[in-house]
Structure 1
């Protein structure tokens, strides 16, 4: 895993949500899983079954909220459809919108890391300089976006049609680093996923260092 770069949130993220009936009411109900994100789907399933203690029936659908809710009691969405549901459609229709990053934070006390940049270990050993250039480019893009937040928000408003204050709050909520808390959150998700799937050992994630690779553990050792 490349150091210092990820996509996540330490609380509400707005762009990953469960929309429809309240999660506690979904035992035996149908939940439509958006087909555009495996991480968010697994997060939703773990929260529903392990945190809220319900056993829904699942189906996979394209991320079209009205269609999803026409044959399901709730739907998992990410990205622009989730933002629209969180900020516009949910309040207008009276749907319950459950922010899954916030639910993870309340369940574990840790940030939710939705994405990292990773490479196979053989590739990292052979072409580490290329990965370092990639990391620098990603970190530079994050810094550039932070310095030009007004233009980023304006472009997002033009593309999505969502209100600027809401998008400003959304970009402020996103985290792009990989500090100790975020690494612990990543390790916790890996362990939770292993437990959920009945696997004895979680994925052996390692954060690439300048010369060595440092294992990530849920307890934070080696970080």
Structure 2
């Protein structure tokens, strides 16, 4: 009887261990901005939300923080600024998913005091939320405009940024809100500003898309106790596809969250942002890495690695 009881207890313990280790979740570092909202559709909406919650845990933060969590091992998968990939090791890209733009994006702005415009810029306050947009900005100044200002990291506050610098880089929701507030700010301050869409500047100069972010996965994320790499690719591409189908639902949700009109959000999600990491995007991505290395902004990236 004693031996039988011990055996049953051992079997129960083994079963408990197998059940728990077999269901270890992968941690996703996500971005709480409107621009990646279509990529997150299945993770945030039924009927797949509950199913995916059995495989993944989501942590939301800024793009820069997503990259830090992924590199430190605090997350297994992250929607990271593409610049962070050049600084990381042991990571692979989930194919097919991105936050990019084929021309005007609206949510990445260089705001410059009117007058001399870019040619008169001696200092730039950089939004600290994304290393990628800061790197694109450095490339444009260095290679396109041939100007070499001082770059100052700063929180996203346009008035405070322009109090310390001649120009300000804003990304994400703060950039969208700055555009909406443009006329009111000019009436309030009497100051005329130029709002340069940096994705449009990049496209006009290089002819390639602007690539902001993609899903990156730590090589060490997978084990026999997690979902497979193939399952991850399927889950994330499926979520992207469903998000693109539910644009109107996202417009309704986000117009209630941020002070941007529904019509503006609709244009933004359907025309300004591009969500498929296709060949044209890969061309733009490789050009970005090449120019960033030439400027000394990032280490060289020899080969992109995919799941």
Q: 2-side partners of 1:126 and 1:53: how far apart?
A: 52
Which structure is higher in strand share?
Answer: 2
> Secondary structure of the residue that 2:96 maps to in structure 1?
coil
For this pair of structures, how many residues does the alignment match?
206
Matches within 5 A, 1:180-199: 180-197=279-296
Match of 2:274 among 175, 179, 188: 175
Q: SS of 1:119's equivalent?
A: strand
TM-score (norm 2): 0.61
Structure 1 residues 126 and 40 mapped into 2: Cα distance closer, same or farther (>3 Å)? farther
Say whether residues 1:47 and 2:146 are aligned partners.
Answer: no
Which structure would you say has the larger Rg?
2
1:25 match: 120
Tell me what 1:73 maps to. Answer: 166
Are positions 1:137 and 2:235 aligned together?
Answer: yes
Distance across 2 between alignment mates of 1:24 and 1:90: 24
For 1:206, the equivalent position in structure 2 comes to: 305
| Unpaired runs of at least 5, structure 1 | 209-223
Between 13-22 and 29-38, report the one with greater CA deviation.
Answer: 13-22
- 8 A contact 2:142–2:295 mirrored in 1: no
After TM superposition, give the deviation of residue 64 of structure 1 in Å. Answer: 1.0
User: Is contact 1:7-1:113 (8 Å) kept?
Assistant: yes
Q: In angstroms, what is the RMSD of aligned CA positions?
A: 2.4
Bigger mean CA offset, 97-106 vs 81-90: 81-90
Closer, same or farther in 2 for the Cα pair 1:115/1:71, shift >3 Å? same
For residues 40-86 of structure 1, what are the alpha-carbon distances to aligned partners after superposition, in whole Å with 9 as ceiling and x for unaligned?
00111110121111111111111111111111111011111111123
Matches within 5 A, 1:20-169: 20-21=112-113, 22-26=117-121, 29-89=122-182, 92-93=185-186, 94-120=192-218, 130-169=228-267
Q: Structure 1 residue 203: deviation in Å? A: 3.9
